[in-house]
Structures are given as structure tokens and as C-alpha cells.
Amino acid sequence: MSHTTEWKVRLYLFEEEGTTKARAVLDTGTTPLTGHGAAHCKPGDTDVPEIGDELAAGRALHDLGRQLLDTAERDVVAMDPSVAGREGPPAVGWAMGSA
């Protein structure tokens, strides 16, 4: 079974009161998801905006990834409720653990 699709993630970065904030938005066509992340300097740290952007964006994408995995797990359980809470790979063949 061949399947090809394209999902686009929009990543928004902005500075607010000394904190870099990021929002990563993904719409799969059936499920809209939004990840959030933030970063700020400690007093006395050198302000390097690129590092704040990287940290905030990485955290937003990590949050988005966690939500996407949670959504997939709920979908797998909806297909076969017997896999809920089971240790090891689900019977339908979609391993839900981290790679």
C-alpha cells in the first residue's frame, strides 16, 4: 500500500518581555495541533537571540511531536481497544514507544 502526503508546519517566533516564545502549528487535514516553547536568559547571561530562537523553537517542536504521538496512540486504541495500556508493541503493528 503506497501512501504519500505532505504536512506543513508553521513556526512562529516572537520576543516578549525578555522571553523568546515559539508556536509550531500543524494541520494534518483532520487534526490541528499547536506546540509551544519558550526560552529566556538568566540574569548575567550574554543575550544571543539565535540561541533563544533555537531553544524556543526546539521546545515547541518537541511539544508538537509529543502531541502527534499522543494523537496516533489514541487513534491506534480506537482501532483496537485491546491494545490500551498493553506493554510492548500494539497488535496492529504500530509501535508507540520512542525510536
The answer as to whether 20 is a domain residue is: yes
- Kindly tell me if the per-residue pLDDT of 99 is higher than 50: no
pLDDT, tens digit, for every residue of 68-94? 999 999 999 998 878 776 655 544 455
Q: What is the pLDDT of residue 83?
A: 73
The answer as to whether 90 is a domain residue is: no
Can you give the residue range of the structural domain that contains 65? 9-83
The answer as to whether 91 is a domain residue is: no
pLDDT, tens digit, for every residue of 3-61? 999 999 999 999 988 899 999 999 998 889 999 999 998 888 888 899 999 999 999 99
Kindly report the CATH number assigned to the domain that includes residue 74.
3.30.160.240
Tell me, letter by letter, the H, E, C secondary structure of the chain: CCCCCCCCEEEEEEEECCEEEEEEEEECCCCEEEEEEEEECCCCCCCCHHHHHHHHHHHHHHHHHHHHHHHHHHHHHHHCHHHCCCCCCCCCCCCCCCC
Q: What is the pLDDT of residue 95?
A: 56
